[in-house]
Structure 1
Amino acid sequence: MSCIGHESVAFLLDGHTNPSSAINQTCGTYNIYNKIDAIEKETQKKIHDMETMMRQVLLTVNQMDVKLENSNVHNMSLEIERLKKVVSNDVKNSTETGIGFTAKLTHSTYKSTTDVIKGNAPIFNSGNAYNGSVFTCPIQGLYFFHVSVLTNTDDSGAWIYKNSQQLTLAYTGYGPHFNGASVSVAIRLNIGDQVYLRPYSNSLNLDENSAFTGVKIN
């Protein structure tokens, strides 16, 4: 056995040297360092391989996230375009067929000036803007509304409201039997404005022949 390039001297307890022991110790130490170096290199290679694999996994996940995000954006764009077409068709249909309604009012007794007077199923409801109680403006423009009230309640009637604003009053006054009254209003509305009826007094017994009409005139 020989260890080229390494020299070592081992001293015994009695002060004498043992060349054979020195060579064995030197060769043993050299072989251990070689093993440590090999283990370190193998460990570093495994770490490098694991890091490479993790980078590949992260890259794949990021690519999947991008594809998913692009897919969601695409789906949202399609839904927005669909809704635009629906709104456009609704406005087109309303413009072509006109907007207006007529409904007989429900035979009922109202006991508060904050009540909203209800109507029966509309006789006419082009544009479907009247829901049986409230007309909601679908298209900006000039509108005309008319209410006719028939009641046996004294000192009563019905207000036409726009949002929270009182517009015109159909006042029935006093009488021994049924009294009638009617009123109209022309007003410019914006999209979302609401027009409806409320009692003039805290008591209003409406006959079923009372009616409410509204129509877009310009």
Structure 2
Amino acid sequence: MSGDGPSRATRITAETDGERRGDFQRFQESRDYDVADVAEHADLAADLRDVVSGEVRFDEYAQVLYATDGSIYRARPAGVVIPRDEDDVRAAVRTAAEHDVPVLPRGAGSSLAGQTVGPGCVVVDCSKYMDEIVRVDPDARRARVQPGVVQDDLDDRLADHGLKFAPDPASSNRATVGGGIGNNSTGAHSVRYGITDAYT
């Protein structure tokens, strides 16, 4: 081998490593990426922590994590609230309104059209703690669930009674019922059985 410089394999490895290191920086600096300043929303974050028993996350990691969904869109939120119960949801919405900051409910983030990302908003993610199937009434053909219930989990419970929640999006193994309602989800069998708003 000549002494003219690193081998082709070495150059490729170095370039690849450099690309990996630069991915996050390019992600932050891309022109279509709305950057929310952590310090700008410090008062909102403090007020939310005073009234929410769940998680309140305004750190950069949470902002970047919730800046994307299943779509190509990217928009960094001000922060994220992960409520433990309905009281937390009410408190988060009320407090955000007092600060004139919009609220964006989020399910699993599996949407392909960017409905679950928004610049400078407070994301409310119910998928971690609010995932209980509260009641199934097979005679009335009704179920009461918290918004973070995964659709396949609900369908598994309903199957014991010969029932199913009609919408069947391709992401039903992770999509939440609350997200499906917000998105008015459809699926391969919607032509026959209807879409979400026909059953809620």
Q: TM-score, normalised by structure 2?
A: 0.31
| Structure with the largest fraction of strand | 1
Larger-Rg structure: 1
Q: TM-score, normalised by structure 1?
A: 0.29
Which protein, 1 or 2, shows the higher relative CO under an 8 Å CA cutoff with sep ≥ 6?
1
